[in-house]
Amino acid sequence: MTLHPPRDGVGGRIAASTDAGAPVLPVPYLQGRVTMQQVAAEAGVSISTVSKVINGRYGVSAETVGHVTRVIDRLGYEASLVARSLRNHRTNVIGVLVMDFEPFSTEVLKGVADAIHGSGYELIAYSAGGHVEAHVGWERRSLSRLMGSLIDGAVLVTPTVTDVQADGRVVAVDPHTGPSGLPSVAADNLQGARLGVEHLLALGHTRIGMITGRSDLLSAQQREQGYREALAAAGVQVDESLVRCGDFEAEPAREAARDLLARSDPPTAIFAANDLSALETLAVAAELGLDVPHDLSVVGFDNIPESALADPPLTTVQQPIRRMGEEATRMLLTLISGDDLARPHRTLDTSVVVRASAVAPRGAR
C-alpha cells in the first residue's frame, strides 16, 4: 500500500510558460487529492490567485481566470471542505446529528434532505458510531466536534440532553426530555395516544390495557396521559391494574403483555406505547393461543415499517417522522439566516393507520 503514489513529474511539466506545450499525457490525476498548491504550480500562478478565481473575487485578469479554470478542470480539483471550513466560518453545510442510523433517524434524514433541496446547502449526517462509550452526551460531543467549523447548523435527532447551547443554530427533533432550551419539533404524542385509544373505544372496547414506555421520557409520559384522557373523556374509569410498564423495549414489553393477558379477566384491547411493544404483544398473544384481533385488539404507536408486515398487520398511530425532519430544517434555515423563530416548539399531528389488529370486541354489536 503506497501512501502517496509517485506524482510523476507534475511539477516538471508546468515549466513551459503558461500551459503552452503542457498536457500531452492524459492528466496528472494523481491520487484523488489535488490541492490548491498543485493547481497553482501547474498553472504557474500563486495560490492566492487560484483562490480568487475559485471564489470569483475581483482583481484577476480574464485571461488568468480562463487559464486557471482550465487547469482546475483538467486536474479535477475541488476545494477541501475541511480546509475551507477551518478558515471560513460559513460552510454551507447543514449537519444532522444522530446517535445511530436506524429507521427513525434515517427517516428524519430524508425529511431534512427534502427540505434542503434547492436551498444551496449541502448535508452531512454524523453518527459517533453508536458505540456504548459515546452513549451519554453524544449530542454535546458531536456538536462540539462539528459545529462552528464543519457545519453551519445542526438538527439533533432524539437527543436526551437538550440543554446544549450551540450558538442558537440547533434544532432538536423529538427530544427525549421534551422541549426545553432548544427549538424543537415533535409529534403530538398526547393527541396520538388519544386517537389510538379513541379508535379502540369507538370499536366498542372499554377494558383497554396499556403497555407504557420509559417513564423518564416525555414521549412515554404523554402517551400514557393521552390514554388516560381518552378513557376519562369517554367516561371509562382507568383500571390501574391494566397499566403495565414496557419500557419501550422488547423484554419488558413481553412481560407486561404476559401480565395483562394471563389474568383471569384480561383486557379486550391493549394500547402499546410503541410499535415494538405492540409487536411483542402480538407474539405473546399468539403464544397464549389468543386470536388477534378477535380475542384481543392491539394498537401500537410509531408506525415503523415492520408493523405493516406483522401478523396481523398492526393498527397503529403514525408519527409524521419525515415531516418532522422537514420542519426542523426549515426552522434551522431560519435561524441560520439570522431571523427569530415565531414558534420555537412545533408539534405535528399524528394519525391512526388502520390495519388489521384491532376490531370490535367479542359480543359487541
Closest CA to 169 of 138, 146, 136: 146
Q: Is 340 in the site for DNA (CB under 7 A)?
A: no
Widest pairwise Cα distance in the chain: 94
- Minimum CB–partner distance for residue 319 and a copy of itself (Å): 13
Helix (H, G, I), strand (E, B) or coil at 72: helix
The site partner of 100 among DNA, a copy of itself, none (C-beta below 5 to 8 Å per kind) is a copy of itself
The site partner of 126 among DNA, a copy of itself, none (C-beta below 5 to 8 Å per kind) is a copy of itself
- Minimum CB–partner distance for residue 74 and DNA (Å): 16
Residue choice 14, 52, 95, 293 for contact with DNA (CB under 7 A): 52
How does strand 297-302 pair with strand 208-212?
unpaired
The residue ranges that bind a copy of itself (CB under 8 A) are 1-5, 29, 31-34, 76-83, 85-86, 100-103, 106-107, 109-110, 112-113, 116-131, 140-141, 143-150, 163-168, 180-181, 305, 308-309, 313, 338
33-41, 155-163, 200-208, 298-306 -> range binding DNA (CB under 7 A): 33-41
- Minimum CB–partner distance for residue 145 and a copy of itself (Å): 4
Q: Return the number of the residue (42 or 259) whose C-beta is nearest DNA.
A: 42
What is the rounded distance in angstroms from the CA atom of residue 14 to the CA atom of residue 12? Answer: 6
To the nearest 10°, the Cα dihedral for 35, 38, 43, 45?
90
H or E stretch covering 106: helix 103-116
Instruction: List the grid coordinates of 293.
Output: 384481533
Residue 33 CB neighbours (<10 A): 10
Helix (H, G, I), strand (E, B) or coil at 239: coil
Instruction: Return residues touching DNA (CB under 7 A).
Output: 33, 35-37, 45-49, 51-52, 54-55, 57-61, 63-64, 79-80, 83-84, 86-88, 149
